[in-house]
Amino acid sequence: MKSRVVPPDLFESRELRRLPLEVKWTLIGLRFVADDWGRAPIEEWEIKALVWPERRDIGSDEIVEFLLLLDEANELAIYHHEKTRENYFQLRAWPAISHRKGEASKYPEPPADVLARFAGIEPESFRAWEGEGESGGESVSGTPAAAASLPLPPPPFCKVHMPHGTTENCRACGNRRMANQHWGREQLAIQQAVQRGEPVPAPPQ
């Protein structure tokens, strides 16, 4: 195992401070899982074995949950690479290590939106539907809430297992699937109402 530097985020980041100790400890552990570029493929059981070998109450579900929380806290980014069909994490705070010329990580680089997020650039500018934003904004007469609720189905898997899912049982994926199915049923109800010329059922809340 190589020595790794721990950045002061553990104490300085407000978001991270609020998270359970287990999440913070996992973040430190991930620094030893990662390669010299601060990234690695996400293998829940490997992370569990390295960081939490003795804790029976921490399994792959918990590791997935910790990763999702750390992604939300912007301490790392979870991303998928289409060619390898694998998911990776990239740690945000990573010291500038002088690599030898021509040396590169054997894992694919995170996409541009991840790097922008790390640099503090608003993710809005990277939204896929950005091009339609202007006309869409006009048609709903300046109600951003209505524009935001345009039907985009919630993803059927958790971010760790997007977009191909997993053969293992993942609790976070299970919750996502339920939300996705619920959305599908709602959309069907709306379509049927429209076909029958009935009033469209109001979304919950």
Mark 89-118 with x for binding to Zn ion (rule: CB under 5 A) and - for no binding. ------------------------------
Q: Which is nearer to Zn ion, 68 or 116 (CB)?
A: 68
**DSSP letter, residue 100:** P
Site residues (CB under 5 A) for Zn ion, limited to 16-55: none
Site residues (CB under 5 A) for Zn ion, limited to 145-204: 158, 160-161, 170, 172-173
Select from 87, 133, 123 the least CA-distant residue to 108: 87
How many of the chain's residues bind Zn ion (CB under 5 A)? 6
Reduced to 3 states (helix: H, G, I; strand: E, B; else coil), residue 189 is helix
Q: Is 58 in the site for Zn ion (CB under 5 A)?
A: no
CA pseudo-torsion sign 81, 104, 41, 90: negative
CB of 93 to Zn ion, least distance (A): 25
CB of 173 to Zn ion, least distance (A): 3
Q: Is 69 in the site for Zn ion (CB under 5 A)?
A: no
CB of 28 to Zn ion, least distance (A): 23
| Beta bridge partners of residue 169, listed in sequence order | none
CB of 7 to Zn ion, least distance (A): 27
- Give the strand order in the sheet containing 86-91: 39-41, 86-91, 76-81
Task: Give the C-alpha separation, 8 to 12, whole Å.
Answer: 6
Select from 74, 27, 53, 66 the least CA-distant residue to 158: 66
Q: Which is nearer to Zn ion, 63 or 93 (CB)?
A: 63
Q: Which is nearer to Zn ion, 93 or 158 (CB)?
A: 158
Task: Give the C-alpha separation, 172 to 156, whole Å.
Answer: 10
Q: Which is nearer to Zn ion, 147 or 162 (CB)?
A: 162
CB of 157 to Zn ion, least distance (A): 5
Task: Give the C-alpha separation, 11 to 16, whole Å.
Answer: 8
Residue numbers at the binding site for Zn ion (CB under 5 A) = 158, 160-161, 170, 172-173
